[in-house]
Amino acid sequence: MSGIIKVLREIFGSDVLSREDIVEYYAYDAQPIKGEIPLAIVFPRKAEQIRSYLVYASKHKIPTYIRGGGTALSGGPIPLVENAVVVSMYRMNRILDIKLKDMQVRTEPGITIDELNIYLGRYGLLFPIDPGSSAAATIGGAIANNAGGVKAVKYGCMKDGWILSLEVVLPNGEIIETGTNTFKAAAGYNLTGLFIGSEGTLGVITKATLKVVAKPKYRVAVRAYFGDEREAAEFVVKLLRMGLDPTAIEFLDRDTLEAVKRYSGLDYKGNAMILVEFTSSIREDVERRLNLLVEILKEEGAIDITWSKTDEEYQKIWMARKAAAPSLGNLKPKYLILDPTVPISKIPELVDICRKIANKYGLIIATFGHAGDGNLHPNVLYDPLDEEEFERALKAAKEISLETIKLGGTVSGEHGVGLEKIETFKKEAGREKLDLMWKIKRLFDPNGILNPGKLFPREYWEEIWGDRLSI
């Protein structure tokens, strides 16, 4: 074991942490399940170091977990094998190159999305994939999980054309460049797309070239309440058919609104809130859309419709949504946050199902999220000191995922399978598809050293790790 540390020090110099009291942090991400405390954390500064490490790790079968900002909500970066090495991309956080005339920027993976956008903002540019955790989430982690976020109604997710090329270190030590730095490309297999959403199981992303857009100069946020959750959800479906090109369509249910009220004092009406944002480089675009939206909201029975005339008002309208996750602690100390995603017409049904499951299990399930993409975040609240309640919460969470599959949806729209959703993902994908994915995994990582225990059910990992897996 100390042999490993010696080798790590040879490769990473002083950028190695190994004292237990420091590394416990790395047994967690942003969800409540704790993994194994790793043997060491390394902080590479360049791809060459990762290459050397992976060759060594492949040879000696060292379980390896890649970590970005640690904001993952499905257990993606937490170690599930003892004596693992965590590779933190924290120090590879430089912007390498900005090509204004190409509408592209090349970065290392450890930069946070907010940092990147502050930088791009100086040039009037924007990287529009905007997960809720953008202050801490890194570009690399967002790519590995195919992040989406609030603006996905307009811009889609990471895989939808925003990542032009990647530099990736493969477990055999090869460093490859996927794709080309062009908007269109049809030469060869889409390796870039294969790494996006691969959850750190295929290789280590060390550089990324991103497509950026002109930052819209104008924006308006519109807030409206509905008497009934289902009515609000049905409004979202209608709105999408109209071609108004909204940037965001968010939904908050009554429990979420109540939590926000207790947390921040923001009052509410009715039982559900809809938040719509329009953005454009042309002022009149947002005004015209605003007017049309308000008309439709009135027709559809929305109450207390308001919209932002100043930047301050814009921030205030968004505050209810942004405070949603932090404020849930006012209802219960902890929560499981899910990301079921359904065809958009099924949003009203998914909202109903969450409500019914909450009642069935005697739990609070606060639901909010990206209704415009069919992606909701039901939050199953529990008290960690009440073991029986935690058990019920886990059951309820699983039932929501299973009902989502029945609706033709996916158990994960933007958080990834990680550890939390392995069982339900197994059901969603089925044996043949999982086998095929596993073959791809073994092709890239024959020794199975990258992120062992994740994405695939235990029976797959046992081939390699046997009883060493702590799941």
- Nearest approach, Cβ of residue 448 and a copy of itself (Å): 15
Per rule CB under 8 A, is residue 380 in the interface with a copy of itself?
A: no
Instruction: Enter the tokens of residue 470.
Output: 């702590």
Site string for a copy of itself, 102-141 (x = CB under 8 A): xxx-------------------x-----------------
Q: According to CB under 8 A, which residues from 336 to 365 bind a copy of itself?
A: 339, 341-346
CB atoms closer than 10 angstroms to residue 342: 24
- From the list 81, 109, 90, the residue with the least C-alpha distance to 16 is 90
At residue 359's C-alpha, the angle toward residues 388 and 374, to 5°, is 105
Q: Which is nearer to a copy of itself, 102 or 352 (CB)?
A: 102
Going along 73-133, which residue ranges are E strands? 85-88, 95-99, 104-107, 125-126
| Of 98, 96, 92, 97, nearest in space to 112 by CA | 92
Q: Is residue 52 at the binding interface for a copy of itself, with CB under 8 A as the rule? A: no
Least Å distance, CB 405 to a copy of itself, is: 9
Q: Find the part of the chain contacting a copy of itself (CB under 8 A) among 90-98, 208-216, 308-316, 357-365.
A: 208-216
| Residue ranges in 427-446 that form contacts with a copy of itself under rule CB under 8 A | 428-429, 432-434, 436-437, 439-440, 443
Q: State in angstroms the smallest separation of the CB of 175 from a copy of itself.
A: 8
Q: How far is the CB of 353 from a copy of itself (least distance, A)?
A: 15
Closest approach, Cβ 37 to a copy of itself, in A, equals 27
Q: Find the shortest distance in angstroms from Cβ 356 to a copy of itself.
A: 21
At residue 391's C-alpha, the angle toward residues 388 and 396, to 5°, is: 125
Q: Count the neighbouring beta carbons within 10 Å of the beta carbon of residue 143.
A: 25
SS3 368: strand
Distances (CA, A) of 378 to 153, 263, 358, 451: 19, 19, 10, 27
180 within 8 A of 275, measured Cβ to Cβ: no
- Residue 244 as a binder of a copy of itself (CB under 8 A): the answer is yes
Would you say 35 or 216 has its CB closer to a copy of itself? 216
Length of the chain as a residue count: 471
CB of 446 to a copy of itself, least distance (A): 11
The Cα-based distances of 38 to 125, 227, 307 in angstroms read: 39, 50, 49
Q: Which stretch binds a copy of itself (CB under 8 A): 89-97, 219-227, 252-260, 369-377?
A: 369-377
Comparison of 44 and 413: residue with beta carbon closer to a copy of itself: 413
DSSP assignment of 244-304 equals ---SEEEEEEHHHHHHHHHHH-----SSEEEEEEEEESSHHHHHHHHHHHHHHHHHTT-EE
Identify the H or E element spanning 350: helix 347-361
Interactions with a copy of itself, residue window 389-418 (CB under 8 A): 408-417
Which of 57/429 has CB closer to a copy of itself?
429
For residues 45 and 412, give the distance between their C-alpha atoms in angstroms, rounded to a whole number: 32
* 367 belongs to the binding site for a copy of itself (CB under 8 A): no
Single out the segment in contact with a copy of itself by CB under 8 A; choices: 19-27, 298-306, 319-327, 424-432: 424-432
Shortest distance, position 390 Cβ to a copy of itself, whole Å: 24
Which one of residues 9, 45, 215, 269 is an interface residue with a copy of itself (CB under 8 A)?
215
Within 273-312, the residues that bind a copy of itself by CB under 8 A are 280-282, 284-285, 288-289, 292
- Does position 222 interact with a copy of itself (CB under 8 A)? The reply is no
Minimum Å distance from CB 178 to a copy of itself? Answer: 8
Q: Would you count residue 187 as binding a copy of itself (CB under 8 A)? A: yes
Closest-CA residue to 5 (of 83, 65, 119, 113)? 83
Closest to 155 (Cα-Cα) out of 181, 129, 179: 129
Q: Which is nearer to a copy of itself, 203 or 270 (CB)?
A: 203
Token duo for residue 71:
């904001």
The interface mask with a copy of itself, positions 247-266, x = CB under 8 A, is: --------------------
Q: Which of 117, 181, 264, 306 binds a copy of itself (CB under 8 A)?
A: 181
> Which listed residue (425, 460, 461, 465) binds a copy of itself by CB under 8 A?
425
Residue 455 near a copy of itself by CB under 8 A: yes
Separation of alpha carbons 46 and 287, rounded Å: 47
